[in-house]
Amino acid sequence: MSGLKLDNPVIPASGTFGFGYEFAQLYDINILGSFSFKGTTKEPRFGNPTPRIAECTSGMINSVGLQNPGIDKVISEELPKMKKCFNKKVIANISGFSVDEYVYTCEKIDKEEQVGLIEVNISCPNVHGGGMSFGTSCEAAAEVTKAVKSVTAKPVYIKLSPNVTDIVKIAEACENAGADGISMINTLMGMRIDLKTKKPVVANKSGGFSGPAIFPVAVSMVYRVYEAVDIPIIGMGGVASPENVIEMMLAGASAVEVGAANLIDPFASKKIVEGLPDAMKKYGINNLKDITGGAH
């Protein structure tokens, strides 16, 4: 997949797996294809005020706000810790609030041998563009892609927001600007209101809605983007079982990220990896590589 060799397609998604070593205390995380570590920004971020989590039917809302120690600490402290418990290449998830920030952070992480792929999250509000996220316009998405590609040698996957009118056009703009692949989808926007207090449950009012409820939306978007681009897709959004992995791959994904499921059950990704051989046998699949886009 863009030069990053995975021995299986299961990847815990950024923001649901920390920096890996917390999960390494529970099981050998080397059974995973890779993992996308916590969203990293140029400066350290404390994140949004609490409460940040709200439960929903078949899902959850989070508004963590990219809490992370910043790129310098990630390189000096987190990567060495990861190396002790994970001997494969990791995926670096990078966020920014201006094109310059994306460039700065991606250029730094690009030099790290442990990182096999850079996943650029363009769902952040563009501070210079009035707060609209980079991922909501073709021009802004292309601008970030082009800028990051000019300072990196590693494969760059752009992580797309589903909160747009036409995700296909944005994927095409990223491909035309030089993206090596697409990661999709990020969370939908959601909100809960507490009936006792009559106020939003999450301090930030709304947040990212994830979990099994969004899986059909993700499958549909991956399917449509696969028809429009010639670059690989990492599919995600509500994936919670080996069958979900197969379905996402049939829609067009080359690999699959598991998000909210890790927060519900810390062994979720392990169980999915271990359950894949039986699911493959059940559906007559000899090699997972052969099924990408098989539903088209």
Architecture of domain 10-291: Alpha-Beta Barrel (3.20)
Provide mean pLDDT across the span 39-65: 95
pLDDT tens digits for 193-235? 999 999 999 999 999 999 999 999 999 999 999 999 999 999 9
106, 124, 138, 174: the active-site residue = 124
Q: Where are the domains of the chain?
A: 10-291
Q: What's the pLDDT band for 5 if we cut at 50, 70, 90?
A: confident
pLDDT tens digits for 235-270? 999 999 999 999 999 999 999 999 999 999 999 999
pLDDT tens digits for 160-197? 999 999 999 999 999 999 999 999 999 999 999 999 99
In the predicted structure, residue 127 carries a pLDDT above the cut 90: no
Q: What's the pLDDT band for 132 if we cut at 50, 70, 90?
A: confident
Residue 1's pLDDT is 78
Q: Which residues does 199 contact at the CB level (< 8 Å), separation at least 6?
A: 193
- For the question of whether the overall pTM of this predicted structure is more than 0.75, the answer is yes
Is 85 designated active site? no
* Mean pLDDT for the chain overall: 96
